[in-house]
Structure 1
Amino acid sequence: MIVGVDVGGTKTHIRSSSGVDVVLPSTGWSALDGASWLLERLPAGVTALAVGAHGAEDRAQCAALRDALAAALDVPVTVVNDGELLLPAAGLRSGVAVVVGTGSIALHDDGSGGVHRAGGWGWILGDDGSASALVRDAARAVLTADDQGQPPSQLADVLTQSFGVATILDLAYALGSDTETWGRHCPAVMSAFAAGCPLAESVVTGGASSLGTLVATFSARGLAFDDVVLGGGLVTAVPAYWALIQSAVSAAVPSARVRLLTAPPVAGALSLAHSLARSAR
């Protein structure tokens, strides 16, 4: 049984060559010690395994997780960052993959094993354009407007409702006390954006622009690419946001072919697992 796994920040998708197709919450996942977590969830009879792992930020972390899984299963295993699943899921060997979900990261793959990253530093420090970062930036915009004596905006109203608090001060406390759940409140930001709230429009447009800037960093570093593939729960769930991102990336890198991944990223993991099985044979 050839198995591909996409471990994301919110959910984990497991798919096999024999028809297993399961989506589970990623609760309790940590790339630093993820082997036992995965082994509890994998189907029996695995013969080759490819994992795209959220939080596996460098080759050493990927190798450590790979070795632990391979030792436990005694089968060929490969582990990559979950963002590296987008290109094979799109049928590509090289290009730039951008994940826009709970967090965000961009990865440049030259098709020969050379992978470079940009972003993906966590939403407190970065991950601009992601669900969590949009909530962070929306809260900052609401707090700044309050400092300036402006009346509460629709964005302020939906955020306080989403967090279950009554005041702007309470909103600041709520954000500071639980940074892990910010992304869950992104639908509130998007609802204000869809309703035409100027403050929400500024936040969402700024998030899209930051992703265009992120992709352009690869060009500035002299890394060539033709294709840019975007995926992740947020960009696929909100067409209006995807349109803004597509425009921003195209403006930042006019020569690039920008596309939205329509297949689930786990398809890329299964493709890598099939390649691994062929190599092993």
Structure 2
Amino acid sequence: MGLDIGGSHTRGVLFRGGEPVREARSGSANVQNVSASEATRSLRSVLSELAAPPGTPVLAGAGGVDTPHDAAALADLIRSAGHLDASTPVRAVHDTRLILAAGGHTAGIALIAGTGSVAWGVDASGREARAGGWGYLLGDEGSGYWIGREAVRRVLRLSQQLPTAREGEALTRAVLEHAGVAEPTDLIGAFHDRPDRTHWAGLARAVCEFASSGDAAASELVAAAAEHLAELVLTVARALDEPLPVVVGGGLTGSVVGAELAALLRQRGLTVSLLDREPVLGAPLLARSPRTDPAREAPGPAPGTGGPASSSRKNHAYA
């Protein structure tokens, strides 16, 4: 069984001979986003619907699996939710692993460009590097949440210009409607009263649509997001210091942000693919990889940080 535990949904697939034979979906089972009880209910629903034979191995990918402790805790949660026998193999990995494997690679660089952002890479020898993934309070530059927050900030700045300025009118209307307020100044309270990452990340869709239509304010935000995401990938590429394929996954992949990002990376000589299939479909390839032991599956610290990239930001995830 493969599980892709995202911030809003959990996707499960039962494989036989490497081919999917049954699928299931439920709400998020990531305890960074939902309570442990809600996570358990979502996992129980997916595992029950998959109805795998007893002893079927499980490979789960999730954001927040940043240490061996996180991997073990998520594995325990899955066992408990599914009432799995103690002998059933359950492996938990960071969801970048699923992205890379779904792109058909066991060595390369995976970038998640969704509500949050993180890049991770591994070479043929198993050497790893990571950039980003610090969470919305410390980073997640270029992510859907970052775009949404920057759109709110842009509207607030535009509201302080001369009344005759017409720049960003379409963006302003979209942001005000999304926030459910009438005036730009009302955005301050609305944003602080509802610090919901998924809600504000929802603005990214409108920003991308406006940018595709030539809106200058939205285009600037899209260009900045693509630059931030490209830098995450380039940081990993420099750390590994060899040509590796890049696979981009996440909600922004099929947007104008994904297109601009791919163009930037190709200009730097990298081979880039924008993932057009479910990341969970990478589970069989990843399960065959020797790098699926939980003790090794937690991504290393971001280059230059000297420690876990996000161990202090999570609640602690899966703990």
TM more than 0.5: yes
Conservation of the 8 A alpha-carbon contact between 2:253 and 2:275 = no
Counterpart in the other structure of 2:285: 271
Counterpart in the other structure of 1:90: 103
Conservation of the 8 A alpha-carbon contact between 1:163 and 1:185 = no
Residue correspondence of structure 1 range 31-42 to structure 2 within 5 A: 36-37=40-41, 38-42=43-47
1:122 aligns with 2:135: yes
Conservation of the 8 A alpha-carbon contact between 1:107 and 1:116 = yes
How many equivalent residue pairs?
Answer: 270
Gaps of 5+ in 2: 294-319
**Aligned equivalents of 2:192 and 2:226: distance in 1?**
25
Gap change, CA 1:177 and 1:260, over 3 Å in 2: same
Listed one character per residue, the Cα deviations across residues 133-157 of structure 1 (whole Å, up to 9, x for unaligned) are 1111111122122234444622111
**Aligned equivalents of 2:137 and 2:251: distance in 1?**
19
After superposing the two structures, state which structure 1 stretch, 104-113 or 217-226, moved more: 217-226
State the Cα distance separating 1:68 from its structure 2 match.
4.8
**Aligned equivalents of 1:179 and 1:205: distance in 2?**
25
Counterpart in the other structure of 1:7: 5
State the Cα distance separating 1:78 from its structure 2 match.
1.0
Counterpart in the other structure of 2:14: 16
Conservation of the 8 A alpha-carbon contact between 2:225 and 2:257 = no
Counterpart in the other structure of 1:50: 59
Conservation of the 8 A alpha-carbon contact between 2:107 and 2:123 = yes
Gap change, CA 1:222 and 1:81, over 3 Å in 2: closer
Gap change, CA 1:94 and 1:232, over 3 Å in 2: same
User: Secondary structure of 1:14's partner?
Assistant: strand
**Aligned equivalents of 2:260 and 2:99: distance in 1?**
20
State the Cα distance separating 1:191 from its structure 2 match.
2.8
Gap change, CA 1:87 and 1:197, over 3 Å in 2: same
Q: RMSD across aligned C-alpha pairs, in angstroms?
A: 2.5
Conservation of the 8 A alpha-carbon contact between 1:15 and 1:270 = no
Listed one character per residue, the Cα deviations across residues 23-60 of structure 1 (whole Å, up to 9, x for unaligned) are 3231x631695873524431333511000012222332
Counterpart in the other structure of 2:296: none
State the Cα distance separating 1:222 from its structure 2 match.
4.5
Conservation of the 8 A alpha-carbon contact between 1:4 and 1:15 = yes
State the Cα distance separating 1:90 from its structure 2 match.
1.5
User: Secondary structure of 1:230's partner?
Assistant: strand
Of the candidates 192, 198, 208, which is equivalent to residue 210 of structure 2?
192
Listed one character per residue, the Cα deviations across residues 114-167 of structure 1 (whole Å, up to 9, x for unaligned) are 433211122333212221111111111221222344446221111111222111
From the two aligned structures, give the one with the greater helix fraction.
1
TM-score w.r.t. length of structure 2: 0.76
1:215 aligns with 2:220: no
Provide the identity percentage. 33
User: Secondary structure of 1:135's partner?
Assistant: helix
Gaps of 5+ in 1: none
1:260 aligns with 2:274: yes
